[in-house]
Amino acid sequence: MIVVGICGEISTGKGVVSKILEEDYNFTPMGFIDPFKCICRDYLKIPSSSLWGPSEGRTPHVRRALQGLGKWGRKHDAEAWVNILRDRIDEWHEMRRDSYDILTSLAPYSKDRIVVTDLRLPIEAEMLVERYNAKLIKLTRDVISLPEDIASDETEEAVKTIPEDLFLRVIDNSGSIEDLEKAIHRLAKGLINATNS
């Protein structure tokens, strides 16, 4: 099984990279924040299109809700969201089932290729590497200005504390979208070839 973790601050291109891996290489997208998004979808009636997909489509209201739920959850159990994702990855790999009903179209997704779309905390990185020998990719770039309460969220700072030696690659996404796409295609092909040989 190949597990890739995408790490980066807000608007560094995590969604673009995840979409390339999902659409072109049949990676199954999963995120640590998916349980929060399910709460927002099921109980706050926020449309899925505002929760999953490019961060540019997420309003500040939705982002604040997700950050608030995450902070509250980590305060009560620092490992809860890590354990939930671990269980989801195992369930998907073993039975090709998703208890959260997020993976609406199962056909294109591989049970042997998973991309974690929202890696931000050291505890998340450590679990992925230790349990799955995950390949972590960090994206950097000059980020657009954001409202202060969003930009100063603890997870934005936590990204900077993940040890650099855990990353397979750090990609500066300050260039064109084509540059990013080429880098990800090279990386994905190399990971798949290495696994197949």
Per-residue pLDDT of 61-94, as tens digits, reads 787 888 788 888 888 888 888 999 999 999 988 8
Residues in the chain: 197
Given this model, what pLDDT does residue 62 score? 81
138 pLDDT tier (thresholds 50, 70, 90) = very high
Nearest to 155, CA basis, from 117, 125, 120: 120
Considering only 69-83, 92-106, 143-157, which range has the smallest mean pLDDT?
Answer: 143-157
Radius of gyration of the chain (CA): 16
pLDDT value, residue 108: 66
Tell me the two tokens of residue 3.
Answer: 């597990």
What's the half-sphere exposure (Cβ side, CA atoms, 13 Å) at 149? 10
Q: Any idea what DSSP says for residue 173?
A: -
On the question of pLDDT at 45 being above 70, the answer is: yes
Cα angle 129, 11, 160 (rounded to 5 degrees) comes to 45
Query: Which range, 14-18, 135-139, 145-149, has the best average confidence (pLDDT)?
Result: 135-139
Portion of the chain with pLDDT greater than 70, in percent: 89
Q: Which residues contact 188 (CB under 8 A, 6 or more apart)?
A: 20, 21, 24, 25
Q: How much is the average pLDDT of 47-69?
A: 78
- Residue, of 158 and 97, whose pLDDT is higher: 158
Q: What is the mean pLDDT of the chain?
A: 86
13: CATH: 3.40.50.300
Q: Which of 3-12, 61-70, 146-155 has the lowest mean pLDDT?
A: 146-155
Identify the DSSP state of 11.
T
In the chain, which ranges are E strands?
2-8, 28-30, 113-119, 135-140, 167-172
3-class DSSP assignment, residue 53: coil
Q: Which domain holds residue 97?
A: 2-196
CB 82 within 8 A of CB 124: yes
pLDDT > 60? residue 106:
no
Q: Give the three-class secondary structure for 95.
A: helix
- Check pLDDT > 90 for residue 171: yes
**pLDDT-based confidence at 141, cuts 50/70/90?**
confident
Predicted confidence band at 9 (pLDDT cuts at 50, 70, 90)?
confident
